[in-house]
Structure 1
Amino acid sequence: MKLYTYFRSSAAYRVRIALNLKNINHEMVPVNLLKSEQQSEDYLQVNPQGLLPALETEHGKLGQSLAILEYLDELYPQSPLLPSDAWQKAQVRSFAYAVACDIHPIDNLRVLKYLTGELQISEEQKTEWYLHWIRIGFEKLESQIGDTDFCCGNTPSLADVCLVPQVFNALRFNLDMSEFPKISAIYERCNQLPAFIEAAPENQIDAN
């Protein structure tokens, strides 16, 4: 397998964690978002959406991190990202989608670049935008976490795979995580596990 990735892409970070949790052999292919390499003709042959990540498999090439994660979970059942129980599975998906579908899309790089480029808002206003939406999202997630080691139980799941990259980026924007002690504890706990450590942005071959 080949994973087309960028070291600070939250969506690619999710897939890196999952590949590591499942001990799936894979090759990393860096695509530099800051240089807009995801819009190059070569990469558009891999993923016509022009987004990261993309996974090249024996069946073909697949985009969208959540689709990739569920594909991997079905193909490689070891260290499952989703529980077998239907209700628990829905709970994990609900948490993960809150991150991947509600928080991340309005705070990702292409949105922030549009704000400072086309709309010409200041760097301070961009940061205010980012922190506003992250804080609202994290407040809701914090209220959902019970007395468990991870987001939805006592083993890492799809929810944790989505949460950890989002916290990493929140810290880059200096969000005060003391407001979210449960999220912070899960983030620290995950980052003691080899699969999360190896997937961390600073440990990638294209890290600056």
Structure 2
Amino acid sequence: MQQPTIDLDMPQQLTLYLHKLSPYSHRIELALAEANVKYKAHQVDLFNKPTWFAAKVNPIGKVPAITYGGPDVDPTEPSSLSFKLAESNVILQFVAELYPESGLLPKDPVERAKVLFFMDTVDRHFDKPGNEWMYGRTESYEGYLKGVEMIQGLLSESGEFAVGDRYTIADACIAPLLSRLKITYETDIGAFPVGQGTKLGGELKAPKYAKFMKYAQAMLERQSLRDTNDEAYLADTWKTLITERRV
């Protein structure tokens, strides 16, 4: 499908297709909130996906996805004149570059590289082993803890942000995963053996993880996350999908 040409210097409509359960959708919500961007949000039912979504927005049918530009239309009838984009980290970078005044992506090439490397590390070494353990595909959370150590080693000296001295898309990339980690070790909900979630929470209290936990707490307390997070919904849904159905 050929994408239309969009004048990026002109104000354009932006629609985010998301689902509350998806941490990858949540990444985009955080970036848009931090950039103070007005946009439309449309919830896509992941358990009964509408046919128009794959046909008109994202051919692989996954969220998040966005439409940018074109006429301001009903999200269920996206315009052929709008630009379509999927994959959370690609969208994060697009949003950061679309709104450079937000500071979501540093101008300095070295700092930009640090942000992108942090995001890649999150996906490869934190999110992936975390999912493997939470969904019962591996019996141990050791790989997850190794990811925690890797992330901790990349954090800025102050430990307040992932890179540098302000919030970037690196923080938006990991913050939803930190929220879900907190739910996991507080509720022990997951496809892992009973008690492992609580045990992981105990291990994370060790001094060796202090910098990571300080950073995680700062992200959890940030207004953008508090405004877009629904722990009760996530916990209830996980209990159904992971613990009871073992999906």
TM (norm. structure 2) is 0.67
Identify if the C-alpha distance between structure 1 residues 62 and 31 changes in structure 2 by more than 3 Å, giving closer, same or farther: same
For residues 87-132 of structure 1, give each alpha carbon's deviation from its aligned partner in whole angstroms, at most 9, with x where no partner exists.
Answer: 1111111111111344334655xx789x7xxxxxxxxx44735x34
Identify if the C-alpha distance between structure 1 residues 200 and 78 changes in structure 2 by more than 3 Å, giving closer, same or farther: farther
Q: Which amino acid aligns with 1:190?
A: M
Which aligned segments of 4 or more residues in structure 1 are displaced greater than 4 angstroms?
105-108
Quick one: distance in 2 between partners of 1:32 and 1:184? 33
Quick one: distance in 2 between partners of 1:32 and 1:133? 32
Q: Which amino acid aligns with 1:163?
A: I
Question: Is 1:14 the equivalent of 2:27?
Answer: yes
Give the total of aligned pairs.
Answer: 190
Quick one: distance in 1 between partners of 2:111 and 2:168? 11
Identify if the C-alpha distance between structure 1 residues 22 and 173 changes in structure 2 by more than 3 Å, giving closer, same or farther: same
Q: Which amino acid aligns with 2:225?
A: F
Corresponding residue for residue 173 of structure 1: 184
Unaligned runs of 5+ in 1: 116-124
Corresponding residue for residue 86 of structure 1: 109
Q: Which amino acid aligns with 1:62?
A: L
Quick one: distance in 1 between partners of 2:124 and 2:177? 12
Tell me if structure 2 keeps the 8 A contact 1:134–1:170.
no
Where relative contact order (Cα < 8 A, 6+ residues apart) is larger, the structure is 1
The equivalent position to 1:185 in structure 2, one of 186, 198, 214, is 214
For residues 16-70 of structure 1, give each alpha carbon's deviation from its aligned partner in whole angstroms, at most 9, with x where no partner exists.
Answer: 000000111112111233x253xx4222122112221001111422101111111
Corresponding residue for residue 74 of structure 1: 97
Quick one: distance in 2 between partners of 1:28 and 1:127? 35
**Percent of pairs identical after alignment?**
25
Quick one: distance in 2 between partners of 1:181 and 1:162? 20
Quick one: distance in 2 between partners of 1:6 and 1:201? 12
For residues 129-180 of structure 1, give each alpha carbon's deviation from its aligned partner in whole angstroms, at most 9, with x where no partner exists.
Answer: 5x34322211211122242221112211122111211112222332423253
Tell me if structure 2 keeps the 8 A contact 1:18–1:161.
yes
TM (norm. structure 1) is 0.79
Question: Is 1:150 the equivalent of 2:173?
Answer: no
- Which entry has the higher C-alpha Rg, 1 or 2? 2
Unaligned runs of 5+ in 2: 1-13, 70-81, 186-199, 238-247
Report how far residue 10 of structure 1 moved.
Answer: 1.3
Quick one: distance in 1 between partners of 2:22 and 2:139? 20
Tell me if structure 1 keeps the 8 A contact 2:178–2:220.
no
Q: Which amino acid aligns with 2:205?
A: S
Q: CA RMSD in A?
A: 2.6
Tell me if structure 2 keeps the 8 A contact 1:99–1:166.
no
Corresponding residue for residue 118 of structure 1: none
SS at structure 1 position matched to 2:226: helix
Question: Is 1:57 the equivalent of 2:68?
Answer: yes
